[in-house]
């Protein structure tokens, strides 16, 4: 899948941008804070319906405006059809009124879609950005998001299951809080147990569906990431990835036959939720479930986070992202668009080479401060790759506008 053209309206520091892009390597260069990353952010937003930098749509709107829009025209790998995707958001909330008036609209071929779940997966992209390091440094929620976004792009049902689960979870937590405020710290009566059980039963099926997919994908990620990791890292450690479900589910699963997994998870969660009504009620929160699980990373069997050096962490983060790319490519049978946001400056030659050789023939968008960096540092690492992918397109980014370079002598690059 490739992008033909990009249109931005009131997005970050771009008032209006219409840009035809090249079919192979597109390089956006310029000084800092001119808008290079904003362009990549816009592309990523069109794929995943969320930014890799913020969860607030409000932040994406140009200052003093009320609406942004990003629209892409796409073409399939073999050029046989064109389609468009767009994402827009308007916020016309009057600060003097309490009710918010904001809406996000996703369109496919300029027809608005009623659910975001129908939008995810139409256009796929993988972003490599400095934020990737958070996968290693931060808590479980970052790794769950990595896993959820990846699975959502290739399994549309999964995204729907996530939305449903999070709604049911809110209902259950709300029920716990209502019981708490109406009766204080006394025990639960039969009626209250029954109310919680409604949510237990409703959540169990969806939770089992989520966990089952996560187990499958964690294993695939582990396989792909360990191969990439051995290429990236100069040490001989083996990276492995494992889905860690809190509340003892892992132990149950290790003794379960393949076919029964979903039923086993469902029954297990149901019994655990029922057994922990009292604890959940005291905390006012549901303490067990896929919303608390983690993707556990280890090097030679040792948990990664506490002991790892900066270099080890960087290698692991890069391996995870490259595994994401492999899986998307394998499942969609198309190459996702690659967004490389200022990543090369942080990587040494070995890691740069590993990254470049894993890219394949995808359309690539790169940001960097210095145009010569590409010809000086990147092309010598992988001369074959770059001669195959053909022409580079260079764009200078300056204060919210983009100026395409005219290349007089393509042989120069």
Partner 1 sequence: MRYAPTIAKLIAELGKLPGIGNKSAQRLAFHILSMPLEEAATLSDSITAARQSVRLCSVCQNYTDRDPCSVCGDPNRDRSTICVVENPRDVSTMERMRDYQGLYHVLHGVYSPLQNVGLDSLKLKELITRLQKEDSVREVILATNQTAEGEATALYISRLIKPSGIRVTRIASGLPMGSDLEFADDLTLSKAMRARHEF
Distance set, CA 62 to CA 38, 40, 71, 395 (Å): 11, 16, 16, 22
Q: Which of 31, 33, 170, 238 binds partner 1 (CB under 8 A)?
A: 170
Q: Is residue 164 a contact residue for partner 1 (CB under 8 A)?
A: yes
Which residue, 16 or 167, is less far from partner 1 as judged by CB?
167
Please name the residues in contact with 167: beta carbons below 8 A apart, sequence gap of 6 or more. none
Q: Is residue 183 a contact residue for partner 1 (CB under 8 A)?
A: no
- The minimum distance between CB 67 and partner 1, in angstroms, equals 18
Q: Is residue 102 a contact residue for partner 1 (CB under 8 A)?
A: no
Q: Is residue 175 a contact residue for partner 1 (CB under 8 A)?
A: yes
Q: Which of 40, 47, 106, 168 binds partner 1 (CB under 8 A)?
A: 168
* CA dihedral sign, ordered 139, 146, 22, 380: positive
- The minimum distance between CB 167 and partner 1, in angstroms, equals 5
Distance set, CA 302 to CA 21, 240, 298, 307 (Å): 44, 10, 5, 9
Q: Is residue 103 a contact residue for partner 1 (CB under 8 A)?
A: no
Q: Is 371 helix (H, G, I), strand (E, B) or coil?
A: coil
Total residues at the site for partner 1 (CB under 8 A)? 22
Q: Which two tokens stand for residue 144?
A: 């769950």
Q: Which of 11, 28, 128, 199 binds partner 1 (CB under 8 A)?
A: 199
Tell me how long the chain is.
413
Q: Which of 50, 118, 145, 292 binds partner 1 (CB under 8 A)?
A: 118
Produce one character per residue of 182-218: b if its CB has 16 or more CB atoms within 10 Å, e if not: eeeeeebeeebbebbeebbebbbbbbbbbbbbbbebb
- C-alpha triplet 314, 320, 323: angle, nearest 5°: 140
- The minimum distance between CB 56 and partner 1, in angstroms, equals 22
Which residue, 181 or 309, is less far from partner 1 as judged by CB?
181
Q: Which of 23, 73, 107, 156 binds partner 1 (CB under 8 A)?
A: 156
On the CB side of 304, how many CA atoms lie within 13 Å of its CA?
27
The footprint of partner 1 (CB under 8 A) covers 115, 117-118, 156-157, 160, 164, 167-168, 170-171, 174-175, 178, 191, 194-195, 197-199, 201-202
């Amino acid at each position: 899948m490739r992008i033909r053209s990009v249109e931005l309206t009131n997005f970050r520091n771009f008032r209006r941008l219409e840009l035809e892009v090249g079919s192979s390597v597109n390089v956006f260069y310029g000084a800092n804070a001119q808008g290079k990353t904003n362009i990549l952010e816009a592309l990523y937003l069109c794929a995943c319906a969320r930014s890799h930098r913020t969860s607030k749509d409000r932040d994406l709107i140009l200052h003093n405006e009320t609406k942004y829009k990003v629209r892409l025209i796409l073409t399939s790998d073999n050029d046989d059809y064109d389609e468009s995707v767009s994402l827009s958001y308007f916020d016309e909330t009057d600060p003097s009124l309490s009710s918010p008036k904001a809406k996000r609209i996703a369109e496919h071929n300029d027809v608005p879609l009623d659910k975001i779940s129908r939008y995810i997966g139409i256009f796929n992209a993988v972003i490599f950005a400095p934020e990737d390091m958070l996968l290693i440094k931060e808590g479980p929620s970052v790794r769950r998001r990595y896993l959820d976004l990846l699975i959502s792009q290739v399994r549309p049902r999964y995204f729907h299951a996530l939305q449903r689960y999070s709604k049911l979870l809110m209902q259950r937590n709300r029920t716990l809080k209502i019981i708490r405020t109406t009766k204080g710290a006394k025990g639960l009566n039969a009626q209250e147990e029954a109310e919680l059980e409604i949510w237990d039963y409703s959540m169990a099926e969806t939770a089992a569906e989520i966990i089952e997919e996560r187990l499958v994908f964690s294993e695939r990620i582990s396989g792909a990431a360990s191969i990439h990791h051995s290429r990236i890292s100069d040490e001989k450690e083996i990276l492995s990835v494992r889905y860690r479900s809190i509340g003892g589910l892992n132990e149950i699963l290790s003794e379960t036959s393949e076919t029964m997994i979903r039923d086993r998870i469902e029954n297990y969660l149901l019994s655990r939720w029922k057994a922990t009504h009292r604890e959940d009620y005291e905390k006012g929160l549901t303490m067990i479930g896929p919303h608390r699980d983690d993707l556990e990373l280890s090097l030679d069997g040792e948990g990664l986070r506490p002991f790892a050096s900066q270099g080890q962490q960087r290698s692991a983060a890069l391996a995870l992202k490259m595994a994401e790319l492999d899986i998307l490519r394998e499942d969609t049978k198309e190459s996702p668009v690659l967004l490389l946001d200022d990543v090369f400056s942080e990587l040494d030659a070995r890691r740069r080479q590993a990254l470049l050789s894993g890219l394949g023939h995808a359309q690539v968008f790169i940001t960097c401060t210095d145009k010569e960096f590409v010809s000086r540092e990147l092309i010598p690492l992988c001369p074959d790759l770059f001669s195959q992918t053909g022409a580079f397109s260079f764009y200078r980014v300056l204060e919210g506008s983009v100026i395409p370079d005219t290349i007089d002598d393509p042989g120069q690059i």
